[in-house]
Structure formats: C-alpha cells, structure tokens
Amino acid sequence: MMSGLGRGASGVGAGGSGGRPGSDDGRPVLLRGGRVIDPASGVDRVADVLLVDGRVEAVDTGIAGPDDSEVIDCGGLVVAPGLVDVHVHLREPGGEHKETIASGSAAAVAGGFTTVCAMPNTDPPIDDPAAVGFVAAEGLRAGLARVHPVGAISVSMAGERLTEVGEMVDAGAVGITDDGRPVSDAGLMRLALEYARTFDIPVAAHCEVLSLSRGGSMNEGVVSTRLGVMGIPNVAEDAMIARDLLLAQHTGARLHIQHVSTCDGVHMIRMAKEAGVRVTAEATPHHLILTDEAVDGYRTDAKMNPPLRSERDREGVRGGLADGTLDTLATDHAPHHYDEKEQAFEDAPFGIVGLETALGLMLTELVAKGEIDLRTLIERMSAGPARAFGLDAGTLRRGAPGDVTIIDPALEWTVEPKRFRSRSRNTPFGGWKLTGRAVRTIVGARTVWSLES
C-alpha cells in the first residue's frame, strides 16, 4: 500500500499540495511585510516570506517574487511557522457524532494549526496498518491540515501485546500511544519503548496509575471534597511519570509524556532531561490556565483527564513550558457530543475541545500577561512539537513545507462555541474575550483557511 514511504516521505505526501485533489493552481505566494518569527532558525524580524511549489523558498526583506505570485499583505501581523498539535482526537472511525477527520481538520486550520497528530483511541482503535492508512487517507481527502496518524501501542488498546508497529510506521504512523488507556503493565511498556526505538519514533504516554485514579472524576483536593466527587490524586499521574521516565532511561528510547498536569511531574521530567533521558512532554492550554476551581458548579466542560489541578500545579506547568521542560503545547482536543456532556458530572465523559481556542488563549492568558514571550510560545507550538514527533514541520527554513500561520496579535474576539468548525462545543472557555488569533492558515503554500472566508 504505502509501504516504502518513511515517515518523512509520508509527511511530504500529506503536505505536498500538488498531489492534493482540489488544490490551487500552485502559484507562488509572497507574504509581505509581516513580523516573521521562526524560532527554529532564529529569525524574528520584519521580512517577506516566499513560498514556491508548496515549500518555503526564501525569508528575506524586499523579496520581489515571481510575476504570478499571490501577494498577501502581512503588515502588522505575525508570520509564524504553521502550528503543530501532536495531541488531538478526531474520533473517526466510530465517533463521527463527535468529530470527523474532516471536521477536526477544519477546526485545526481555523485555530491556526497546519499539522495535527490523531490519537488512536477510536472505535475500532488505530492498531494496524490499514487503520493507519485510513486516517492518513481521510486527512488527505479533507485537504486542510496535515493529519498524521499515531498508532496504538497494544492490540485493541487492551494493554496486552504489541501492535505491528513497523508496518504502522511504514503506513504513516508517526508514533505510538495507548492514550486514554495507560499501559499498566510495566513489562509491556518496556517492550514498546524498545521496539519503537527500532523505528526512532516516540512512545507517547498518558501517565496514570489506574488503581490510584479509579472512580475519580476530578482532581483530589478540597474542591472534590466539597463537591462530593471522587478525586484523582496527583500521585496517580506522578507515579506513572516516574515509572516511564525510568523505563525510557533504561531503554534509551524516545518517550513523549502527554498532558502533564502536576508540578512534581514537571520537576521529574526536568531532572530526567538533565540526566540525558530522551523525553519530550506536553502542556495543555487548560492546565496552564485553569485550576480545579473551574469545576465548581459541576461543570462537565471542565472535566478532563488528567484533571484540572491546584494553583501550585498550574504554576509548575507554566514554569515547565517557559523553561522548555515541556517542549510543546498540545490541546488534547477531545470532542464530545453535547448529549454526553449534558449529564450529572460523574456520568459525563472526560475531555474538552481545544483546537480553535488554544492560540488565542495562550496569547491572552500567558503572552499578554508576561508569563512567556511570543517567540517562546511559537516555538512550543511549532518547532517543539515537530521535534518531539520527528515531523517535517514547524519551521520557515528554506526548503521546509510551505506551512504558515498568520497571526493578528491585536485582534479582539470572543469564544463562541456555536461557531466552532468542530462538531463539538465542549469548552470551558465559551464567552471568554481573547486578544490575538490566527487570521490565515497556509498549508503547502495554499491558503486553507482565512478569517474573512
């Protein structure tokens, strides 16, 4: 089928707009006069960006560009590498009432993301090369963001035996994970890390000791005590982070820790990195912005796993993102139908959507408030995640894919869930007034979304 294509090649295949049905005429694109921020190449200055044949041709001042170029005025705007989200749930196959690969891709590009990694906990799970091929093909068919499948670690995500990882990689999988169903068996996790090392792909870990979190619906603390909701203690996450870091050290494999929510988790990852462990890690917008107080009133749109934690944890995660211990922002975009969230708190499923709010939230709540600078944010949303998953993305270097996110850092807007491109509206940020957002998203030198359209 697609065997023989390495990950890089598959990435190009997914991105090369030339082969994409319904793509534009392939005219060169000249992005004129924006503030170009490309952390991977150290660029941060007002410049022009020229995209030719789906790739970055040049970043410089005063580029003339070929006569047939489409010229886009970027004065007053930020021109960034296309944003990358390595943690999204597109729900297809099996959960099409929540999201499809097409609707999720539309949500991605509306939020400024040009590349997303689709988690395998669908129904059935993405645990064989045919399923991986399906996700990749549907991503291409949608023709919006680049959709990279992530395969399951274990067959049926049952936590018992390894999937055919090599074949999944050849079919386009960029990593493996049993996200949502942590690998409880330490021996299996060790094998997964060792086997994945063969293919130099990361093993992405949802760190949770189930016997410590079982029955819990929110962070264990004074708020859960007050609400009478069973809690998920920090140690349920921390104990598994510790285990997986030690396994990564032992195996020499690449470990990617998903959605870190605890202060001590960040601390352990920092120590592991200092010790040379090959680990990367994520922070989500919600763990960076909210605490478990947001659950008060039994708000199911503030229910996710790992749960919103304490103020101390939020500060720890912020510190981790700022100093690079957490390499990447990731949304953990987890759409659910409103019927499923419209339940008593403990009966509602975990997860919130994030693709269409992440950038605006980060600009408003972290950058504008001086927690991190714009350049760092863009690094954590482009080069950082691309590096974690070995993706050909996240930079505007000459020859890189022509994926660009154009950001208006001053645009004021209000989060209106009913206007989401996603099929789901489960966000705790509805009604928030934000400043800054993506206004145009370009994939393979083709505008796939703009605010005016």
Q: Which residues bind other proteins (CB under 8 A)?
A: 220-222, 224-231, 233, 297-298, 339, 342-348
Beta carbons of 406 and 74 less than 8 angstroms apart: yes
Determine the angle formed by the axes of helices 101-110 and 129-142, rounding to 10 degrees.
50
* Annotation marks residue 179 as catalytic: no
| CB 24 to other proteins: min, Å | 46
Closer residue to other proteins, CB minimum distance, 182 or 221: 221
Q: Write the single-letter amino acid at 267.
A: H
- Closest C-alpha to 445, from 70, 137, 48, 105: 70
Structure token digits, residue 256: 């990617």
Closer residue to other proteins, CB minimum distance, 130 or 222: 222
Phi-psi region of 430 (alpha: psi -120 to 50; beta: other; left: phi over 0): beta
CA distances from 410 to 107, 267, 435 (A): 21, 34, 6
- The Cα 424–Cα 99 span in angstroms is 7
- Total residue length of the chain: 453
Closer residue to other proteins, CB minimum distance, 48 or 238: 238
Closer residue to other proteins, CB minimum distance, 8 or 431: 431
CB count in 10 Å sphere of residue 76? 11
Non-local (6+) Cβ contacts of 274 within 8 A are none
Closer residue to other proteins, CB minimum distance, 17 or 310: 310
| CB 130 to other proteins: min, Å | 32
| CB 330 to other proteins: min, Å | 28
| CB 244 to other proteins: min, Å | 25
Closer residue to other proteins, CB minimum distance, 226 or 369: 226
Q: Write the single-letter amino acid at 355.
A: L
Which residues sit opposite 115 in a β-bridge?
Answer: 84, 146
* 3-class DSSP assignment, residue 153: coil
| CB 221 to other proteins: min, Å | 5
Determine phi and psi for 384, rounding to 5 degrees.
-60, -60
| CB 206 to other proteins: min, Å | 23
**Catalytic site residue from 292, 332, 403, 408:** 332
- The Cα 309–Cα 297 span in angstroms is 16
Structure token digits, residue 357: 């709010």
- Is 200 exposed, middle or buried (CB count within 10 Å of its CB: 0-12, 13-18, 19+)? exposed
Structure token digits, residue 246: 């030690």
| CB 297 to other proteins: min, Å | 8
Closer residue to other proteins, CB minimum distance, 3 or 225: 225
* Catalytically active residues, by annotation: 332
